[in-house]
């Protein structure tokens, strides 16, 4: 029997870990599972809704760290997680993605001599101004087992000297969640369409500090959205970080054309992604989901750690300037909506089964 301690903390972690938790539950004689929520995200629509919709067990432990500066948040997670590891003495700690909870828990476990597995290892933007890049690099170099989602991840890890036997290319567990829940999401589409009066529309998400913390950049993006909103409805579920920043811009009545809503549950958001004419985002996960769905995606960033979404998928990078965003959106919309999606290697709904098989060994 292996005791596995799963970490979740921020919104994208739930979609990555839910399928692994479900898959391991099929082997009750092999795995004992403990779920730790760091509390990095805590609003009901950034956390609780995903437990319900993704049918995840309620966390065994909630560290309730809340928000803070990077150092404060990372340190508090470490302080509160250390006794949990000492208490449960797990065989493995599984950490997903690239958020502060990921690196904090990896650091605690590895210093206590507990093996760490990183789900979504090897991604690199090669941009150290991005906090997530630092989290990725540190976590990968601490991990004993590195589960990669795309070939670039394998190459990056080998280039950094990670021994090949630690690298395990499993595919994308976030896509496992999408594959499982797309039918449920589709069932919600007629209701959403009616609620927002949607036919053709652009779906927007934004929360990268490089876009929303700098008010001049955020102003450029909002100006673009208002302009795009004159031509086609724009629906924008606003991340809490972004909500605070938008409030400090003086946009007057001009945002009335935009459909600004609270962060959405996974099923509604997925339905809106699947039916969008275009998605404009800076989210890592949304670049991947739109690629899987074949929905055109503009990523308001100068780089991406997910190059497969550009090479084989529907994603395109665009500078966060009003004129560039409007032009790119017009071009994308002129080309029509969703295309036949390209099936990426191992993005097939079975990544969690491969993670589980490796941990059964
Ligand atoms: C975090 C991750 C980012 C990830 C994103 C997913 C880090 C460094 N960043 O960014 O990689 O893409 O989550 O959404 O780990 N807030 C609330 N309610 C909440 C959570 C946050 O109001 O439930 C507000 C707080 O004011 C907080 C701010 O949002 O200060 C930012 O939250 P934080 O977790 O620090 O970073 P994110 O921008 O959410
Ligand atoms: N998502 C959601 N509701 C929203 C916006 C996004 O459920 O209002 C989902 C999205 O489908 C994806 C995940 O959240 O599964 C991506 O998380 P986020 O963009 O917060 O983080 P990132 O992927 O950039 O780290």
Q: For 172-181, what is each residue's pLDDT tens digit?
A: 999 999 999 9
Whose CA is closest to 161, among 140, 186, 189, 176? 140
The hierarchical CATH code for the domain 178-334 is 3.40.50.2000
Count of CB atoms situated within 10 Å of the CB of 128? 9
* pLDDT score for 303: 98
Whose CA is closest to 83, among 112, 106, 115? 112
* pLDDT score for 252: 79
Ligand 1 midpoint to CA 241 (Å) = 6
* pLDDT score for 256: 82
Tell me which of 68-72, 210-214, 332-336 is least confident: 332-336
* pLDDT score for 336: 82
Question: In whole angstroms, what is the distance from residue 189 CA to residue 184 CA?
Answer: 9
DSSP class of residue 298 equals E
Please report which helix (H) or strand (E) contains residue 74, including its range.
helix 70-88
* pLDDT score for 126: 98
Q: What percentage of the chain exceeds 90 in pLDDT?
A: 94
> pLDDT digit string (tens) for 95-136?
999 999 999 999 999 999 999 999 999 999 999 999 999 999
Residues in CB range of 111: below 8 A, 6 or more apart = none
* pLDDT score for 257: 80
Where are the chain's structural domains?
A: 2-172+346-360, 178-334
* pLDDT score for 238: 98
Q: What mean pLDDT do residues 256-274 have?
A: 96
* pLDDT score for 53: 98
Q: What percentage of the chain exceeds 70 in pLDDT?
A: 100
Task: From 241, 242, 263, 300, give the residue whose CB has the most ligand 1 atoms within 8 Å, as the site to mutate.
Answer: 241
- Asked whether the domain spanning 178-334 has the same topology as the one spanning 2-172+346-360, the reply is yes
* pLDDT score for 35: 99
Q: Decide: 164 and 158 in contact? Cβ < 8 Å.
A: yes
Confidence of residue 255 (pLDDT cuts 50, 70, 90): confident
Question: In whole angstroms, what is the distance from residue 262 CA to residue 244 CA?
Answer: 12
Q: What mean pLDDT do residues 29-52 have?
A: 98
pTM above 0.95, yes or no: yes
Ligand 2 midpoint to CA 240 (Å) = 12
Residues with CB under 6 A from ligand 1: 10-12, 40-43, 46, 67, 98-100, 131-132, 207, 240-241
Query: Active site residue: 6, 22, 118, 207, which one?
Result: 207
What DSSP letter does each residue of 147-178 carry, written as one string?
EESSHHHHHHHHHTT--GGGEEE---HHHHHH
DSSP class of residue 7 equals E
Q: What is the CA radius of gyration of the chain?
A: 20
* pLDDT score for 287: 98
Q: Is 207 part of the annotated catalytic residue set?
A: yes
Ligand 2 within 6 A of CB of 96: no
* pLDDT score for 339: 76
CATH topology of domain 2-172+346-360: Rossmann fold (3.40.50)
Ligand 2 within 6 A of CB of 284: yes
Question: In whole angstroms, what is the distance from residue 149 CA to residue 151 CA?
Answer: 7
């Amino acid at each position: 029997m292996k005791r596995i301690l799963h970490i979740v903390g921020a919104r994208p972690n739930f979609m990555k870990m839910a399928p692994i938790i479900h898959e391991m539950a099929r082997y009750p004689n092999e795995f004992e599972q403990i779920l730790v929520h760091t509390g990095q995200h805590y609003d009901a629509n950034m956390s609780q809704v995903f437990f319900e919709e993704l049918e995840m067990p309620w966390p065994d432990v909630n560290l309730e760290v809340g928000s803070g500066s990077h150092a404060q948040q990372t340190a508090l997670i470490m302080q509160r997680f250390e006794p949990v590891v000492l208490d449960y003495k797990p065989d493995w700690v599984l950490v997903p993605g690239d958020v502060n909870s990921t690196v904090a828990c990896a650091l605690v476990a590895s210093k206590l001599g507990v093996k760490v597995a990183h789900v979504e290892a090897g991604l690199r933007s090669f941009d150290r101004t991005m906090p997530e890049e630092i989290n990725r690099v540190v976590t990968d170099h601490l991990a004993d087992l590195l589960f990669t989602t795309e070939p670039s991840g394998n190459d990056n890890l080998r280039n950094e000297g990670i021994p090949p036997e630690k690298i395990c290319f499993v595919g994308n567990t976030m896509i496992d969640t999408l594959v499982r829940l797309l039918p449920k999401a589709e069932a919600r589409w007629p209701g959403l369409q009616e609620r927002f009066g949607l036919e053709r529309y652009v779906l927007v998400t934004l929360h990268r500090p490089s876009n929303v913390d700098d008010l001049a950049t955020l102003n450029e993006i909002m100006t673009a959205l208002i302009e795009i909103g004159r031509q086609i409805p724009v629906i924008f579920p606003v991340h809490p970080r972004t909500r605070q920043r938008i409030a400090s811009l003086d946009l007057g009545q001009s945002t009335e054309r935009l459909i600004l809503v609270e962060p959405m549950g996974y099923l509604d958001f997925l339905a809106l992604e699947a039916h969008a004419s275009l998605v404009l985002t800076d989210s890592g996960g949304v670049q991947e989901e739109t690629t899987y769905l074949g929905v055109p995606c503009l990523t308001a960033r100068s780089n991406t750690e997910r190059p497969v979404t550009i090479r084989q998928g529907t994603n395109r990078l665009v500078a966060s300037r009003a004129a560039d965003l409007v032009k790119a959106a017009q071009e994308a919309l002129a080309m029509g909506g969703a295309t036949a999606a390209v099936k990426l290697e191992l993005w097939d709904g079975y990544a969690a089964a491969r993670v589980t098989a490796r941990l059964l060994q």
